[in-house]
Chain A
């Protein structure tokens, strides 16, 4: 039987990033096909190409055996492809009907379209268990129902193939189960479903086939019933050559940071950090592994004081800093923070390097008495730090945005480590950083730990976590799935990262 969708030799680059490397994928009609992979594996890019957001540099797409050209989302829609994005494309003040009808009103007056949609909605609700109040205001619906509206939108436009991008990230377990039932119905009625996810449980639960992507390439395709969670985890994470960093055994001292029952919800009310507890001692590196979006970023922001917890405590050197919610206070207590997104938070791209080097510490008396900012002192400090951290070019007057990723990161690290903090929390330290700088940064982090400081490391790069951490915590869906020491193998960690825990029920 002709596959519903065929992607042949899809290749796509974004500047230096090779997002999709000659990817070939065949998806059968009337099946649920999962695509699994870590961050940066290329799955979202691939589906965006299928849905017309990007055009592939090379390769072709066939639908039901016929080659097609998809240059925009309307092309994709006209070929029966519908997509439910991670971030919903909904107009909050509109009703469900209005959202569904947008773009396919079929005439100048929307009255008839709304009527038609209402009838269609009743039918779809019956056929696929997609009940939703057609007159409800979308912005007031719970997230699970909003997602249903997205699915209905696609079906209303005649989608034969439905792509879902990480659909369960925002759902409660019950809502997720309901979603799977719906997907099952769709499949039984002959629709094709493509499910992008990093969660192994979901794959095993509902897919018929699963393809694994890793670092832009299509690694393997299996029939779900003939594979296992272990095999998939291994394929997903791969056998990596460990960037072996020479390090002495850790000698952890006192508890520096204690996180107790920390919980945080986003503005939509979804729980992002779910009753998390752990601690970090002086003289050790604790690494939090996990696919991004599982709560790690939020934990860093909570500890650094950028956001406030909904409940729980963050105790740093005996003081409950969760209550303070103030990055400056937290810094004064001896915490330093290398943020995950250096462009967004860590630097000010339009400031010159010397001014980025004082970000967060600009009130230091050494940089100017009282209200003053001593330019000379600032530039001198910058030059010194640049030399110590081998930042190139060592020019304090160069605009921060102009440094390469690795050098930007070194500037930030120099700044934060230069403060001689008791605890350094650092997110994605080597994202977008060249090999030479990676080694340098890793060495510095270990050095810090050997000086008796505490380091909390968050990274989506499992290699990095494994080579640097003394203890590894794995986060999934806002919870800590398990703790392992640095000798844990990648398969085990991969399983935990994908939500499979032997410990949990």
Chain B
């Protein structure tokens, strides 16, 4: 999905429009809150307080953001090549397999060896799950949107089978693996306790957050400072020019999808190795889809993605707090906001351009 940055100045395109779309999304959400019978402004305040008003809130916010950065980057990289990867959900799920296999299988080895290998395995598994639809699109013309959706469902069923029959220890009721001690990524709370004798509130925030920051930088570097990244962006922006330039579009499509899947796979590292410390069902929990919203809002740029991921982290944490404070407003309100953001940022993106163009563009004669 190439971004036709038309005549509008850059700051409008990257800054104003996403904020405008967010504003409209929140407006509609506020309307729903009103229909429910609650005060939207009060709801907003509770959300903000719950997310950024306490250390615990921040902990959760950043934990969510970690996941969303990974899935957002995944969608964004694919977007740059003109591909819509809806399969992040399934790719992250399958990646969990890689993390668990290495984490459990190599647990006799010391953790400085196992953890990097587990991360690599997660990325490889995720990359593979995305590469197949990429291959089918490039070589057989199968529409990548449909195949990635199908692969989400296939992953869902496959994982149930694998976890139930191969990872679940005998006698255990819960459908999950045993604890993965070989690749245990410490949470901030644990680090604070063990090394600084500090008490931090209990949140899932763990060291993977640094991996997220690294990933964001790495994606930026890849896209704008390497030949491969140039080719990826060229294919997405103008396939005819890419062919003219001698870029092999088939190869780029497959490589891009693999990278995309690998990034989504990092989400499994956070969840499986950093939070749950086990392989369990449905651990992705919708992050793949949030990634779509994050990528759209962040205009497929790592900086935008980090900011959007944090914003959605705010919404998720705030939403949880809100649902406790106001039981009438279900936590699913966040899903509604997400849907609205995607609708306005993705499908109705051009709706405001004419109006904005009138304000911001000086017509050159």
Contact = CB atoms under 8 A, between A and B. Distances in A.
B288 to A, nearest CB: 27
B225 A348 contact: no
A362 interface: yes
Nearest to A368: B227
Interface stretch (A1-9, A155-163, A324-332): A324-332
A363 B229 CA distance: 12
Interface in B203-257: 224-231, 233-234, 237-238, 240-241, 243-247
A249 B136 CA distance: 56
B2 interface: yes
Interface of A: 304-306, 326-331, 337, 339, 344-351, 355, 358-360, 362-363, 368, 371-375, 399
Contact of B5 (A304, A331, A355, A399): A399
B226 A348 contact: no
Contacts of A327: 243-246
- Which of B225, B233, B238 has the most chain A CB atoms inside 10 A of its CB? B238
A375 B5 CA distance: 21
A57 B247 CA distance: 44
Contacts of B4: 350
A359 B2 contact: no
B3 interface: yes
A345 B229 contact: no
Contacts of A349: 237-238
Contacts of A345: 238, 240-241, 243-244
Contact of A373 (B3, B225, B243): B225
A375 B246 CA distance: 21
A304 B244 contact: yes
A330 B245 CA distance: 10
Interface in B1-41: 2-5
Contacts of A371: 226-228
Given A372-B227, A373-B226, A347 B241 contact: yes
Nearest to A305: B246
B230 A328 contact: no
Contacts, number: 77
B138 to A, nearest CB: 17
A445 B341 CA distance: 52
Given A328-B247, A360-B244, A368-B225, 17 more contacts: A304-B244, A306-B243, A306-B244, A330-B246, A344-B241, A348-B238, A349-B237, A350-B5, A359-B245, A360-B245, A360-B246, A362-B230, A371-B227, A371-B228, A373-B229, A374-B225, A375-B225
Interface of B: 2-5, 224-231, 233-234, 237-238, 240-241, 243-247
Contacts of A305: 246
9 contacts: A339-B244, A345-B243, A347-B241, A359-B241, A360-B246, A363-B227, A368-B226, A371-B227, A373-B227
Contacts of B228: 371
Contacts of A373: 224-227, 229-230
B246 A346 contact: no
Nearest to A328: B246
B227 to A, nearest CB: 5
Contacts of A328: 245-247
Contacts of A326: 246
A359 B226 contact: no
A350 B233 CA distance: 10
B301 to A, nearest CB: 13
A327 B244 CA distance: 6
Contacts of B225: 368, 372-375
A204 B304 CA distance: 65
A329 B246 contact: yes
B240 A362 contact: no
Nearest to A359: B245
A305 B245 CA distance: 10
Contacts of A337: 244
A348 B244 contact: no
A362 B231 contact: yes
Contacts of B237: 348-351
A297 to B, nearest CB: 13
Contacts of A359: 234, 241, 244-245
A339 B243 CA distance: 12
A350 B3 CA distance: 8
Most A CB contacts (10 A, CB to CB) among B5, B227, B230, B246 go to B246
A352 to B, nearest CB: 10
Nearest to A364: B227
A309 B243 CA distance: 16
A359 B234 CA distance: 9
B241 A348 contact: yes
Contacts of B243: 306, 327, 345
B245 A362 contact: yes
A304 B3 CA distance: 28
B244 A372 contact: no
A280 B28 CA distance: 66
A351 B229 CA distance: 13
Q: Which of A330, A345, A358, A399 has the most CB of B within 10 A?
A: A345
Given A326-B246, A359-B234, A346 B227 contact: no
A69 B101 CA distance: 75
> Which 5 A/B pairs are nearest by Cβ-Cβ distance?
A328-B246, A327-B246, A360-B245, A345-B244, A348-B238
A363 B248 CA distance: 13
Contacts of A329: 246
A399 B2 CA distance: 15
